[in-house]
Amino acid sequence: MVCPPGLEDLVAAEIAGLGARRTRVHKGAVATDLTSRQLYAANRSLRCATRVLVRVAGFTARSFSDLERRLGEVDWAPWLADGARPAYRVTSRGSQLVHTRAIEERFAAALGAGHPEGPEQLVVVRVSRDRFTVSVDSSGAPLHMRGWRQATAKAPLRESVAAGMLLAAGWGPTTPLIDPMCGSGTIAIEAALLAAGRDPGADRPFAFQQWPSFEPGTWASVTATQENPVATCPAIIGSDRDAGAIGAARSNAERAGVADLVEFRQAPISDLEAPDGGPGYLITNPPWGGRISPGGDLRNLYATLGNVAAERLPGWGIGVLAADRDLARQVRPGLTETLHLDLGGQRAVYLTGPLGSANEMS
Ligand SMILES: C[S@@+](CC[C@H](N)C(=O)[O-])C[C@H]1O[C@@H](n2cnc3c(N)ncnc32)[C@H](O)[C@@H]1O
């Protein structure tokens, strides 16, 4: 399983929930053994992963003739649909064969080009100290592309990261949730999908469905799993001061089939209100950079978020994702750095903890 670096432990816990026994955590990946059923279920149900790779070969090769011979020994038939077009992602470190382009050419010669209109099949090749690890991607489009987010506001968060923020804060689907800077609504919609007991991949196709080794009966037993909604859905509220963002969030919630579970409002953070049924969690991803309005800077915005939240949501928990640790610390003193993320080269820290009450602020 590949995931954004920082979400490995959450992915490992999700895989354990599918019955996988031993998991090994690496940077940005979690390895384990899965049955076909677990592989299919992983693709459909993992909330924090990016893709599920299946290891098809491992060998040592120090020359191109070694590599060609080894590739000739691999049985590719189970993984390549008729006409499938292989696409390669090759990395090499500390090895005799370093030219990734030349390595890719040997793979292309062994696997063939496929049909120009055939389905793309990603093949991931990692070479480390002459040891080749070859995997095929079973997911297709990355798993965070659930299919519902077509409208985006500024700086949308990956759906997998939004799910990770909810899980890492300890939010459970029976507890109220507010994201007062919701942008296109990603955090609130992921929360509603959890409350609805819906698999995040329920409405999208996967690469493994094209494989000759695909087992339709096994897949049918995975998709037959019933939704398991919570008995009473808590208040799930997204607000943003930007009208365009709220429009995008509403249409995304509609597409995700959770419009009736989430309330979106256009409002500035200063209008934050406690819903019925608290305490719950405020989980948000404030703007990360630049000046956001003529009269105020980001430090003020982060401090206002903390003050308003503590005043109106006493006893609630908070989770804030920010690029800048000092900025995030403006929100509340004493929050815990729960996740350290690498989001495509952009580092981010996720702070969580109790809000306490306004009186506790020094
Ligand atoms: C980084 S974006 C959130 C992205 C969101 N998580 C998503 O996935 O689309 C930050 C959002 O904060 C909103 N914002 C900035 N200042 C605000 C304020 N004072 N009150 C409410 N929303 C604000 C912006 O309009 C923007 O949509």
Q: Where residue 277 sits, what CATH number does that domain have?
A: 3.40.50.150
What does the pLDDT read at residue 357? 60
C-beta of residue 248 within 8 angstroms of C-beta of residue 273: no
Look at residue 259 and tell me if it is in a domain.
yes
Same domain, 289 and 258: yes
3-class SS string, 107-139: HHHHHCCCCCCCCEEEEEEEEECCEEEEEEECC
> Could you tell which of 146, 177, 181, 327 is best to mutate to test the pocket of ligand 1, judged by most ligand atoms within 8 Å of the CB?
181
Look at residue 154 and tell me if it is in a domain.
no
Same domain, 97 and 62: yes
Same domain, 261 and 343: yes
Rounded to the nearest whole angstrom, what is the distance from the C-alpha of residue 156 to the centroid of ligand 1?
A: 9
What domain count does the chain have? 2
CA-CA distance, 18 to 14, in Å (whole number)?
7
Closest atom, ligand 1, to C-alpha of 183: 27
Give the count of beta carbons closer than 10 Å to the beta carbon of residue 2.
Answer: 20
Q: For the domain that residue 96 is a member of, what is the CATH number?
A: 3.30.2130.30
> Could you tell which of 241, 283, 307, 331 is best to mutate to test the pocket of ligand 1, judged by most ligand atoms within 8 Å of the CB?
241
Return the residue whose CA atom lies nearest to atom 1 of ligand 1.
287
Coil, strand or helix at 309: helix
Rounded to the nearest whole angstrom, what is the distance from the C-alpha of residue 217 to the centroid of ligand 1?
A: 44
Rounded to the nearest whole angstrom, what is the distance from the C-alpha of residue 146 to the centroid of ligand 1?
A: 22
Rounded to the nearest whole angstrom, what is the distance from the C-alpha of residue 268 to the centroid of ligand 1?
A: 9
Rounded to the nearest whole angstrom, what is the distance from the C-alpha of residue 255 to the centroid of ligand 1?
A: 21
> Could you tell which of 166, 189, 240, 302 is best to mutate to test the pocket of ligand 1, judged by most ligand atoms within 8 Å of the CB?
240
Same domain, 226 and 311: yes
Residue 176 CB burial class (10 angstroms; 0-12, 13-18, ≥19): buried
Rounded to the nearest whole angstrom, what is the distance from the C-alpha of residue 323 to the centroid of ligand 1?
A: 14
Give residue 71's domain range: 8-137
CA-CA distance, 9 to 58, in Å (whole number)?
25
Phi, psi of 245 (to 5 degrees): -65, -45
What does the pLDDT read at residue 294? 39
Closest atom, ligand 1, to C-alpha of 293: 16
Look at residue 146 and tell me if it is in a domain.
no
CA-CA distance, 308 to 273, in Å (whole number)?
9
Do the bridges between strand 29-31 and strand 24-26 make them parallel or antiparallel, or are there none, so unpaired?
A: antiparallel
Same domain, 13 and 97: yes
Instruction: Look at the chain and count its residues.
Output: 362
Give the count of beta carbons closer than 10 Å to the beta carbon of residue 297.
Answer: 12
Task: Provide the H-helix boundaries in the chain.
Answer: 8-17, 36-45, 64-73, 100-111, 159-169, 186-195, 216-223, 243-256, 298-312, 325-329
What does the pLDDT read at residue 177? 97
Domain boundary among 137, 170, 203: 137
CA-CA distance, 277 to 160, in Å (whole number)?
27
Same domain, 286 and 343: yes
Q: Which residues line ligand 1 (CB under 6 A)?
A: 153-157, 180-184, 186-187, 240-242, 245, 268-269, 285-287, 292, 301
Task: Name the one residue in this structure whose structure tokens are 């080894």.
Answer: 70
The H or E element that residue 282 is part of is strand 281-284
Coil, strand or helix at 216: helix
Closest atom, ligand 1, to C-alpha of 249: 9
Same domain, 186 and 298: yes
Return the residue whose CA atom lies nearest to atom 27 of ligand 1.
183
Return the residue whose CA atom lies nearest to atom 20 of ligand 1.
268
Same domain, 343 and 256: yes
Look at residue 145 and tell me if it is in a domain.
no
Same domain, 101 and 213: no
Rounded to the nearest whole angstrom, what is the distance from the C-alpha of residue 287 to the centroid of ligand 1?
A: 6
CA-CA distance, 248 to 189, in Å (whole number)?
12
Rounded to the nearest whole angstrom, what is the distance from the C-alpha of residue 182 to the centroid of ligand 1?
A: 6
What does the pLDDT read at residue 149? 84
Look at residue 2 and tell me if it is in a domain.
no
Look at residue 144 and tell me if it is in a domain.
no
What does the pLDDT read at residue 154? 77
CA-CA distance, 253 to 250, in Å (whole number)?
5
Look at residue 108 and tell me if it is in a domain.
yes
Look at residue 147 and tell me if it is in a domain.
no
263 Cβ contact partners less than 8 Å away, ≥ 6 residues apart: 235, 236, 237, 238
CA-CA distance, 289 to 315, in Å (whole number)?
29
Same domain, 228 and 287: yes
CA-CA distance, 319 to 317, in Å (whole number)?
7
C-alpha angle with apex 287: 284 to 289, nearest 5 degrees?
145
Domain boundary among 106, 137, 168: 137
Angle between helix axes 159-169 and 8-17 (nearest 10 degrees) is: 80
Same domain, 235 and 346: yes
Q: What is the mean pLDDT of each run of 10 residues along the chain (362 residues)?
A: 96 94 91 96 97 97 97 95 94 96 97 91 97 98 90 84 97 95 97 94 94 97 85 92 96 95 97 91 88 61 94 95 89 93 93 76 40
What does the pLDDT read at residue 230? 82
Same domain, 123 and 88: yes
CA distances from 111 to 22, 68, 89 (A): 32, 11, 14
Tokens standing for residue 139: 């997911």
